[in-house]
Chain A
Amino acid sequence: MTSLLDVRDLTFHYADRAGAVRAVDNVSFSLASGGSALGLVGESGSGKSSLALAIMRMLPSNVARYDGQIWLDGQELLGLADDRFRQEIRWRKLALVPQGAQNGFNPVLRVGEQIIEPLVVSGTAGKKEARARAQELLAYVGLPTDVYLRYPHELSGGMKQRAMIAAALILEPPLVIMDEPTSALDASVQTQITNLLKRLKKELNLAIIFITHDIALASDVCDDLAVVYAGEIVEIGSAEQVLLHPSHPYTQRLLASIPRLHADTTPQFIPGAPPDLREPPAGCRFHPRCPLAFEPCAQENPPAFELADGQMARCWLFEDGQEER
């Protein structure tokens, strides 16, 4: 019970005309402490953003199911009343840099104003103090301090991303969820941002949940990796374990599909398409695409099997604790 964040059996479904969209299904993971980062990696549509929204309790109007447990710093969040959640958790303990943070700023207000807003509204600090703090943060994330007075449309995509990160840090939360913080940026800016994230981890002892579809990028920033497939975490472990000893067939395929600069292997595409989350396949959700599928796979969804210390995979292959290689 020392972990900072402990998510247990989190389930989050959208209602759709055809039924439920099972975007997050029985997801469990934990994040040990500050100064570390967990990467959530998965294809587009696998439910990564939904998971972030579920943790932040930013529910759309069409929620079909929302249950499980989220323990943050020893406090259970799902049972918390909306008002308390808003006042005590949001941005104070849990901040979010959303996917497409380019649009995360209100277009008609100055950037600085938006950064200090939570600070001023909660009455924690006066305007002057808040401004000094914000400018300090802007400088920290590598922006000129006059960004404070600019409007969002006057910033480039990379600058907005940094400003958004500064905004997320204003209340000094222990944990920040970053949803695809680099996906719309070009490679060099991307590197700057990942370097910034690493600094944040180290210098501010920040815990980060880093969401991306790019497993290589995730491995650069994160200490732990969770592979998301069709609303489930199919494999989780330390970055080293997952990258060097990928166990779940999906993880293996995912790694094989990455083009490598200094390798003679050609990238392999995963055959088939990701499942429709309205009607995920029965049994193991990966089984229609899995080259290793065998009898139980189509029958029953595998639970998470523990492999080596901390590494887990949802795959029937590991029922007996054996690894096929």
Chain B
Amino acid sequence: MSMASALRELLRSGPGFGGAGLMCLLILVALYVLLAFPLDFGESQWSNPVVWVDNPKAVPPTWTNALRREALPLHRVFEGTEPHTVQMARSGPVHSWRFPLTYASSHPPTFLAVTLADVKYAERPPLVLISLKRPDGKQLRIYRHAVRGPREDESGPFQRYAQTPLRVQLSTDEATVTAAQNFLADEFDLRLNGAQIGGRVDRILFGVPAGDSDEAFAPLTGDYEIIVQAALRAEGDSVGKVRFVVGGAVFGLMGTDSLGRDLARGLLFGLPVALFIGVIAAFMSTAIGTTLGIASGYLGGRADITIQRISDIVANVPVLPLLIFMLFIIGPSLWIIIFILVAFGWPGLTIQIRSMVLHMRTNQLIEAIQSLGASRRRVMFRHILPQITPYVLAQLIFAAPSAILAEAGLSFLGLGDPSIPTWGQILETGFRTGGIYVGYWWWIVPPGLCIVLTALTFMLLALGIEPIVNPRLRQPAS
């Protein structure tokens, strides 16, 4: 049967069509990921907490708001480089950034944070002020920061926060707490001590006292404005970058984990990794299994007996305990996982191929070729291999899901390769940090679904291919 007609037949069967379609989709997404993500995504981003500080921790995806009666606040990030306005004051130029924020949620933000980067000054350090203008017309200063002055052995021009930007978590910052305290006292004549305010700064800043008790606050929705001002001391001084984060209670397409990592990105990166594991492990174990099977069946004699004995034993080794043990001793590495999966994955195929070859060896054509003096190797690879290729191909596809599942299981036990994020590892952190017990479903369900979908794609493809390579199955049994 030609490739083209085989393909046509594959697409005509239900599972074959589904499998091929899904596989195309997966490959496209994987290609996108390979182009869009750095290859060291794991080390440079995923396990680097700095990348994720400004994200809300362990919040569900944004689209879940559509299912809620009361929408949770969105995550808002404001960033500015060039100042929006420049004014001249007595002390020097004042650069301001104004970020309008329409706040509609009845829940306060989960946190407020500000980041400053690339501050340059000639002689005297600038002063940064942050204020919040509320819909009720009230305005308060929530933060004030004097950039560090020159050190003794330092000479100008001075640079600050170039390598490590300054990040302040306003919600827990003492200065902001004090500001909130003063604000309540001045505007609402409400006197609360630090302990009463601590942890509820966001609620106070984005609400009004509800009246029932001193500590109750009603949300205040409407148009806010965040004003960041940098009082510079000389022309040419500058603040390179300002970033203000109003932490949401929902985030992105897939939500975040407890470190604030964007799960959508982790899940995306997991796809090429899973495909790689499945394909490489399946390919290598199939190659070994086929070669040994042909050798065993064709050579016969002592080689055959040896190969059969070894396959018999290796096929019966319980792999998972051994995998755990070896990964533990050698250290978690994706390559070790693949190596062991291959090392124990070949015998089943060897045994099957051997019996097929034994069948074929008595085939007259092969006998004739042999009597013409073709070398053993030539007969094996030129005449026997092509005949079993379709079958081997189906087995190749069948072998992929089990490798994917095995890697996921090992990762789940904490034996995953820490430098490469996989779906299993995402699940593992979700489980280890107790995510399931507090119902963080967005952290638990999608990675599992990804695993199932990928494994299922291979399964469907294999099911679609099987009747084509195995003509006996094409006839319905009577």
Contacts and interface: CB of A to CB of B under 8 A. Distances in A.
A14 to B, nearest CB: 9
B478 interface: yes
Contacts of B478: 60-62
A147 B478 CA distance: 34
Interface in A176-230: none
Interface string A47-66: 00000000000001110000
A62 B478 CA distance: 8
A60 to B, nearest CB: 7
Interface string B457-478: 0000000000000000000001
Interface in A55-93: 60-62
Nearest to B478: A62
Contact count band on A: under 10
B353 to A, nearest CB: 28
B473 to A, nearest CB: 16
B252 to A, nearest CB: 54
Contacts of A60: 478
A18 to B, nearest CB: 13
A61 B478 CA distance: 7
Contacts of A62: 478
A60 B477 CA distance: 12
Nearest to B476: A17
Nearest to A15: B478
A171 to B, nearest CB: 30
Contacts of A61: 478
Nearest to A60: B478
Nearest to A16: B478
A292 to B, nearest CB: 38
Nearest to A62: B478
B471 to A, nearest CB: 16
A39 B435 CA distance: 80
A152 B478 CA distance: 26
Nearest to A17: B476
A58 to B, nearest CB: 14
B433 to A, nearest CB: 54
A212 to B, nearest CB: 25
B475 to A, nearest CB: 9
A253 B478 CA distance: 34
Nearest to B475: A17
A317 to B, nearest CB: 38
Nearest to A14: B478
Interface string B140-164: 0000000000000000000000000
A60 B478 CA distance: 8
A62 B475 CA distance: 14
A48 to B, nearest CB: 19
Interface in A246-293: none
A66 to B, nearest CB: 16
Interface in B183-201: none
A50 to B, nearest CB: 13
B175 to A, nearest CB: 84
Interface string B161-173: 0000000000000
A3 to B, nearest CB: 34
A62 B476 CA distance: 12
B417 to A, nearest CB: 50
Interface string A286-325: 0000000000000000000000000000000000000000
A32 B478 CA distance: 36
A228 B286 CA distance: 52
Interface string A113-143: 0000000000000000000000000000000
A61 B477 CA distance: 11
A36 to B, nearest CB: 35
Interface in B422-478: 478
A200 to B, nearest CB: 34
3 contacts: A60-B478, A61-B478, A62-B478
Give 3 closest A-B pairs by Cβ, nearest first: A62-B478, A60-B478, A61-B478
